[in-house]
Amino acid sequence: MDDVKIGEILLPGDEETQDRREKQVRAKFWPKLKRVASYIPFSRDLVAAYYCAMDPKTPTRVRGVLLAALAYFVLPFDLLPDVFAFVGFSDDIAVLAAALRIIQGHISDRHYQAADTALAADEDLDAAKKT
C-alpha cells in the first residue's frame, strides 16, 4: 500500500463525515476487536486510539484522523480482507501506524490506562466463560 492511499484514508473529513465514522466505530469497534484481538499485535494501541477518538478533549482534527483509521479497521471492505488472519491486518496496521504518527502525542496516559482496563476486563470475562 502506498503513502498516497494511506493519506487519502486518513483525511479527517468534514463534521458530517466524522459523525458518520464515529457512529460506525462506536457500533462495530468492540465486536470486531473481540473477534480478532488474538490475531493482532497492536490491540493496546488500537484501544487507546479508540479512547482518544472518543475523548471530547481531543482536538477535532486528531479525532478525525483517528476516526478514519478506526473506521478503516472496523469496515469489512479494505485492501486486504481481514479473513486472511495476520496478513489481512497488515493494511490495518499500516493505516493505524500512519494515524498514530500523524497525531503523535495526543494519545495520553489516561487513554492507555483506559485501554489496559478494558483489555484486562475482557480477558477476565473470557477466563470466566471458560470456567
Higher local confidence (pLDDT), 120 or 110:
110
- The predicted structure's pLDDT at residue 109: 96
- The predicted structure's pLDDT at residue 76: 67
Beta-carbon contacts of residue 86 (< 8 Å; ≥ 6 apart): 39, 40
In percent, how much of the chain has pLDDT > 90?
44
Give me the chain's average pLDDT, please. Answer: 81
DSSP state of 57: T
- The predicted structure's pLDDT at residue 26: 93
Q: If pLDDT is split at 50, 70 and 90, which confidence band does 64 have?
A: very high
Q: If pLDDT is split at 50, 70 and 90, which confidence band does 81 have?
A: low
Q: If pLDDT is split at 50, 70 and 90, which confidence band does 129 have?
A: very low
Q: For residue 64, which of 74, 73, 54 has the smallest C-alpha distance?
A: 54
- The predicted structure's pLDDT at residue 4: 41
Number of C-beta neighbours around residue 63 at 10 A: 22
- The predicted structure's pLDDT at residue 91: 77
Question: pLDDT tens digits for 45-59?
Answer: 999 999 999 999 999
